[in-house]
Amino acid sequence: MRNTCFKTPINSYWVTKYFMSKPPIRIAITGAAGQIGYSLLFRIASGAAFGPDQPVILHLIEIPDEKAMAALNGVCMELDDCAFPLLKGLVPTSNLDEGFKGVNWALLVGAVPRKAGMERKDLLGINGKIFTGQGNAIAKNAASDIRVLVVGNPCNTNSLIAANNAPGVPKNRFFAMTALDENRAKTQLAQKASVDVTAVTNLAIWGNHSATMYPDFFNTKINGRPVPEVISHREWLEKDFIATVQQRGAAIIKARGLSSAASAANAACNTVYKLTHPTPAGDWFSVGVHSDGSYGIEKGLIFSYPIRSNGKDFEIVQGVPLNDFSKAKIAATEAELKEEKSLVGDLLPK
Ligand code: NAX
- The residues annotated as belonging to the active site are 209
Q: Indicate which residue's Cα is closest to atom 10 of ligand 1.
A: 31
For ligand 1, the distance from its centroid to the CA atom of residue 228, given in whole angstroms, is 36
DSSP lists the bridge partners of residue 205 as 215
Catalogue the long-range contacts made by 332-335 (C-beta closer than 8 Å, 24 or more residues apart). Answer: 332/212, 332/214, 333/206, 333/207, 333/208, 333/210, 333/212, 333/213, 333/214, 334/207, 334/297, 334/298, 334/301, 334/303
Q: Indicate which residue's Cα is closest to atom 20 of ligand 1.
A: 62
For ligand 1, the distance from its centroid to the CA atom of residue 194, given in whole angstroms, is 34
- As a three-state string, the secondary structure of 196-248 is CHHHEECCEEEECCCCCCEEECCCCEECCEEHHHHCCCHHHHHHHHHHHHHCH
Per-residue pLDDT of the chain (350 residues; tens, 9 = 90+): 665 544 444 455 455 545 558 999 999 999 999 999 999 999 999 999 999 999 999 999 999 999 999 999 999 999 999 999 999 999 999 999 999 999 999 999 999 877 777 777 788 988 999 999 999 999 999 999 999 999 999 999 999 999 999 999 999 999 999 999 999 999 999 999 999 999 999 999 999 999 999 999 999 999 999 999 999 999 999 999 999 999 998 899 999 999 999 999 999 999 999 999 999 999 999 999 999 999 999 999 999 999 999 999 999 999 999 999 999 999 999 999 999 999 999 999 98
DSSP lists the bridge partners of residue 69 as none
Ligand 1 pocket: which residues have CB below 6 Å? Answer: 30-31, 33-37, 61-63, 68, 109-113, 130, 151-153, 155, 177, 180, 209, 249, 259-261, 264
pTM, full prediction: 0.94
**CB-CB neighbours of 116 under 10 Å:** 4
Closest atom of ligand 1 to CA, residue 65:
11
For ligand 1, the distance from its centroid to the CA atom of residue 108, given in whole angstroms, is 8
Q: Which of 148, 153, 181 to mutate to test the pocket of ligand 1 (most atoms within 8 A of CB)?
A: 153
Q: Which of 94, 98, 103, 109 to mutate to test the pocket of ligand 1 (most atoms within 8 A of CB)?
A: 109
Nearest to 274 by CA among 315, 313, 309, 316: 309
For ligand 1, the distance from its centroid to the CA atom of residue 20, given in whole angstroms, is 32
For ligand 1, the distance from its centroid to the CA atom of residue 138, given in whole angstroms, is 18
Calpha distance 12→63 (Å, rounded): 36
